[in-house]
Amino acid sequence: MCLGIALHSEYNVPDEVKKAGFQICPDELGSIVEGHDVKKLKVHGGVNGIADKLSTSTTNGLTATEESLNHRQNIYGVNKFTESQVRSFWVFVWEALQDMTLIILAVCACISLFVGIATEGWPKGAHDGLGIVASILLVVFVTATSDYRQSLQFKDLDKEKKKISVQVTRDGFRQKISIYDLLPGDLAHLAIGDQVPADGLFMSGFSLLINESSLTGESEPVNVNADNPFLLSGTKVQDGSCKMLVTTVGMRSQWGKLMATLSEGGDDETPLQVKLNGVATIIGKIGLVFAVVTFAVLAEGLIKHKFQEGSYLSWSADDALELLEYFAVGVTIVVVAVPEGLPLAVTLSLAFAMKKMMNDRALVRHLAACETMGSATSICSDKTGTLTTNHMTLVKACICGNINEVNNHEEIKDVCSQVPDVALKVLLQSIFYNTGGEVVINQAGKLEILGTPTETALLEFGLLLGGDFQVARQETKIVKVEPFNSEKKRMGVVLQLPGGGYRAHCKGASEIILAACDKVLDSAVDFFSYYLSNLLTYQVMARSSPMDKHTLVKHLRTMFNEVVAVTGDGTNDAPALHEADIGLAMGIAGTEVVSLIMQVFNEISCREMEKIDVFHGILENYVFTAVITCTIIFQFIIVQFLGDFANTTPLTLYQWFACVFIGFLGMPISAAIKMVPVGCK
C-alpha cells in the first residue's frame, strides 16, 4: 500500500493534459503497455483506472463529439505513422546523376563544348559535347523512369493494403471506423484473425491468444487475460475474442517506434556500382595522365617553335587558338577513355531483368536490386513465416489402430475407406466440437479456417475427410467446454447426444493425456536423429530479437565486408531488411512494414535468384553490341570510301594506335563484370 502511494506521488500530470480533461499523459501510457509494467498499472487503478483517467466509459466508450475528439487528438495524437514524402520524378533523375561514370562524362562534355565552340565555332564545335550530353540524358531518364514507375506501383499497393476498418464502441453503440480514426480511450472489439490496431489493455474476453510472431519472431502464441492485459499493435488475434482499451496510437505505439527506426540511413551503392565506379575512376585518371602528357608535349612543341623564332614573348590570337586545339585533344582523350556506353548497357540489362521479374510476379522497388541479388555472399533468412509458412498440416494419423500417412487426397481417401462410418462420425465430431478454431466464409466467398496452427491443421483434416463444420455444429448440443490454457495443456468438451446420453472429447499435450489413461500403445521413435546429424551444417541464431537480427546483418556488412541478402516476412524482420544490401520479403505471410522497406516484393514465386543473370546481360548485351558494331561498320565505310561526299579523311597510323590503346583501357571493365558474384571484397 505504501509502495503504491509513493509511486503515485511521483507521477505529475502535465498541465496541458489536465486542461484537456485527462489525468494521464501519452508517455506514461506508453511506458505501462510497452514495458508490461503491472505494478505501474495497479498504481493507476488497473484497466478501469486508466479508462477513468482517459475520460472514457468502460461500457459506452468515447463521447464522439467533434470537440472532444479534437482535444483527444491534440494530446494523444492520431493513429497514423510518419511516412516518407512522395518523391517526384526529378528526385529519381538527381539520384541517377550520382553515377561516377556519368559525372566524369558530364565534366568532359562541358569542357568539350567550351573548347569546341571556342576553336571551331557554333554549331560544328559543339557536336562532340552535345553527343556526350545526349548519351548521359538517355541513361539518366531510362533509370529514373524505371524507378519512378515502380515507386508509383508500390504506393498504390500500399494504399490498398491500408484500407482497414475497426469495430469500436462509441456513445454506447457498436460501429465500424477507419483504423486511422482510432484514439486512446476507444473500446475496440477484436475477434479471431483481427490485427491489433494499436497498443492497449485487455478489458474482457474469452480464451484470447495473440500471435506476436510478426513483432517478436516467436511462433508460440501469448495468452492475454486480466493478469497479462497488454496488447501490442501489429500483432494478430489467433484465438478467442476480446474488448480492448486503446492506450497508445501512431508513432508512440510499439509498431510506430519500430517504423521510426526505418527512416534512419540512406541508400548505399550496390557492389557492381562500387566496382564500375572504381574502374571508371581508374580509367579517368589514366586518361587524364595521358591527356596532360599529350597536351604538355604539343604545347612544348609550340613553345619551342616560338623560342626558335624569338617570338616567345609575343602571342597572337592564332597561337591561343592553337593551344585551345591542343587542350581539345587532351579532353578528347579523356572522353574516349571513359566508357560512356557502359552505363547504358548496365541500365538496359537491369531494366530487362526488372521486366522479367515482374512477369514472374515479383515487384521490384529499386532497379539496382536486380543486380544486388546476384552479388549476395551471405543470406540471412527468418524462419517463422519464411522458411516455414507458420501453418501446420496433419501428416500422420492413428485411427482405429491403423497408422496412416495423410499427406495428399489419395492417402486421405484410403483412411476413409479403412475407417467404419460410425468411427469416422465420432472422429469428425471430436475435431469440429473440441476446438477453439472456426471455419467461416470470407468476403471472397471462400472457406477460411481461423484459429491456432494446431487447431487449423485439425480442422483442415476434418474438412478433407468430408466433414461439414457448420452442419456438424448444429447436430449436437454442447453441455460444457473446458478451454485450453498453457497451464492445463488440454481442452475438452461434453456433448449431449441426440439419442440420449453424453459424450466427452478430450485433447491436449501427450504427457497430460497419456497420464490420464489406464492403457496406452507405446512406440518409441527417435524424432531428433536427423536434425542432430545435420545440426552443424547451418549457423542458427535462436530466439533473436529484431535488434539482434539488425546487429548481425550490420556486422556482416561492416566487419566481414559481406554482401548480405535478408529474407523475412514479419515486422520483427524490418530492421534487418532495412540494414541489408538486398531485402526480399515473401508476400504470402508478410506484414505491411516489410513491403515498405524491401527492394523486391515477392508475391508468390520468383525466389530462384539464379534465373536473373544480370551480369550475363551486361557482358553480352546483344542489342547494345549490335548497335555499336553497325555504327563502327558504317563509320569505316564512310571514312574509307565516301570521304569526298562526307568530307572525311582516313585515320592516320597515329590515330589507329590511339584507338587500339584506348580499347585496351576498356578491358578491365569486362574483367570486372565477369567476376560473378561481385562481392565487396
Catalytically active residues, by annotation: 382
E runs forming strands in 406-496: 438-441, 447-450, 477-482, 490-496
DSSP state of 610: G
- How many whole angstroms from its chain centre is CA 578? 7
Among 471, 457, 459, 399, which residue's Cα sits nearest to residue 432? 459
The residue to which cell 471506423 is assigned: 177
How far apart are alpha carbons 289 and 330 in whole angstroms?
Answer: 9
- Burial degree of 288 (CB within 10 A; 0-12, 13-18, 19+): middle
3-class secondary-structure state, position 246: strand
Task: List CB contacts of 391: < 8 A, sequence separation 6 or more.
Answer: 453, 456, 457
Q: Which three cell numbers stand for residue 393?
A: 498440416
Q: Which three cell numbers stand for residue 263?
A: 527512416
How far apart are alpha carbons 253 and 88 in whole angstroms?
Answer: 30
How far apart are alpha carbons 48 and 44 in whole angstroms?
Answer: 9
Vertex 596 angle, CA 600 and 352, to 5°: 25
Among 559, 465, 452, which residue's Cα sits nearest to residue 508? 452
> Which residue blocks in 434-587 are alpha helix, DSSP H?
453-464, 469-475, 510-515, 529-533, 546-558, 574-579
Q: Which residues of 601-640 are buried (b: 16+ CB within 10 A; e: fewer)?
A: bbbeebeebeebebbebbbebeebeeeeeeeeeeeeeeee
Answer for the pair 295, 327: CB distance below 8 angstroms, yes or no.
yes
Answer for the pair 180, 164: CB distance below 8 angstroms, yes or no.
no
Radius of gyration of the chain (CA): 35
Answer for the pair 202, 224: CB distance below 8 angstroms, yes or no.
yes
How far apart are alpha carbons 396 and 236 in whole angstroms?
Answer: 29
Total residue count of the chain as it appears in this document: 681
How far apart are alpha carbons 256 and 261 in whole angstroms?
Answer: 9
The residue to which cell 493494403 is assigned: 161
Residue type (1 letter), 595: S
Residue type (1 letter), 560: F
